[in-house]
Amino acid sequence: MIQIRWHGRGGQGAITAAKIFATAAFKSGYAGVVMAPTFGTERRGAPVFTSLKLSEEKIYDISPIETPDVVVVLDHLILTEVDVAAGLKPGGLVVLNTPKPLSAHDFGGARLAAADVTALSVEAGLPQGRVNSGIIGVLCRAFDAVPFDLVLAEIEAEFKTKKPQANVQAAKLAYEKTIVRGA
C-alpha cells in the first residue's frame, strides 16, 4: 500500500491535485484508491490535508493515514504551521513547492524533491497561485508510481475548461526543474 498525504491551504486545490493523481493511478492499474480530505474544517486559507491510499487490491480500511510514504506540500509557508513530516516513514519523500534552495529545508532523513512551482506555473501561463497541476509534476519526477503521460492526460481532462494546456505545461516544467535530495 502506498500512502500519500497532501498538505495545502483551503481553496488551493490540494484535493483536486490528489484526485487527478488518484484517477491516473487507478487507470494505470491500482484497483484500490481511497482519497479522504480533512473532514469538516475546510476554510479558505486554512491548512488542510488529504489522505490518498493506493493499492493493487481494493482498499477496505478508509481510516486516515498515519504513516505516509510521501507528503506533498503545495505551499512552503505551511511548514511554519504544520508538521508536515509527522509520521513519515523512514526514507520517505517530501515533495515541496518552494522558492528557496533545498538547503533551506530540513526534514531529517527524508528525501526531498522541490521546485518553485509558483513561479513555474506563472511561466506556463497560469494565474498567480495556481500550483496544483505543477506540484504533481514534482511528485512524478521523484516518485515513480504512475506513468507521467497518464498523469498529464488526467490533468488535461480535469482542467478541460480551465486552461488545460497551461496546466499540462506547468506540470511538465515542474517535472523538468525538480531537484531531488537524498537517495
Partner 1 sequence: MHIIEDGNVAAAMGVKLAGAQVIAAYPITPQTPLTEKLSEFVESGELRAQYIPVESEHSALAACIAAGSAGARAFTATSANGLLYMHEQIQWAAGARLPIVMCVVNRAVGAPWCIWNDHQDSISQRDTGWIQMYACDHQQIIDGVLKAFALAEAVSIPVMVCYDGYLLSHTYMPFEVPEEEKVARFLPPFEPSYALDPESPANLNTVTLPDVRMDVTGEMAHGYMEIRYLLQEDLRAALEVAQEIEDRFKEVFGRGGDALLEPYRCDDAEHIVVGLGSLTYQLRDVVEILRNEGHRVGVLGVRLYRPFPDEALAAALQHAAGVIVIEKAVSYGYEGALCSDLKAALLAHRTDGGRPPAVKGMIAGIGGRDIRTADLTDALRAHITGTPVEGPGWIGLKLYDSFQDEAPPQGTSRASARGRGRERE
The smaller minimum CB distance to partner 1, of residues 3 and 118, is found at 3
| 3-class SS of residue 80 | helix
How far apart are CB 140 and partner 1 at their closest, in Å? Answer: 18
The smaller minimum CB distance to partner 1, of residues 39 and 83, is found at 39
Q: Which amino acid is at 118?
A: T
Report the interhelical angle of 164-177 vs 134-142 (nearest 10°). 40
- Only one residue has cell 511528485, namely 139
How far apart are CB 37 and partner 1 at their closest, in Å? Answer: 6
% helix / strand / coil in the chain, to the nearest 5?
Answer: 35, 25, 45
**Residues forming the site for partner 1 (CB under 8 A):** 19, 22-23, 26, 31, 33-37, 39-40, 59-64, 66
The smaller minimum CB distance to partner 1, of residues 40 and 90, is found at 40
* Distance, CA of 159 to chain centre: 16
Q: Which H or E element spans position 167?
A: helix 164-177
How far apart are CB 124 and partner 1 at their closest, in Å? Answer: 25
* Pairing assessment for the beta strands 47-55 and 32-37 based on DSSP bridges: antiparallel
How far apart are CB 58 and partner 1 at their closest, in Å? Answer: 8
The smaller minimum CB distance to partner 1, of residues 50 and 98, is found at 50
107 neighbors 92 (Cβ within 8 angstroms):
no
How far apart are CB 63 and partner 1 at their closest, in Å? Answer: 6
The smaller minimum CB distance to partner 1, of residues 35 and 96, is found at 35
Which of 181, 54, 55 has the alpha carbon at shortest distance from 113?
181
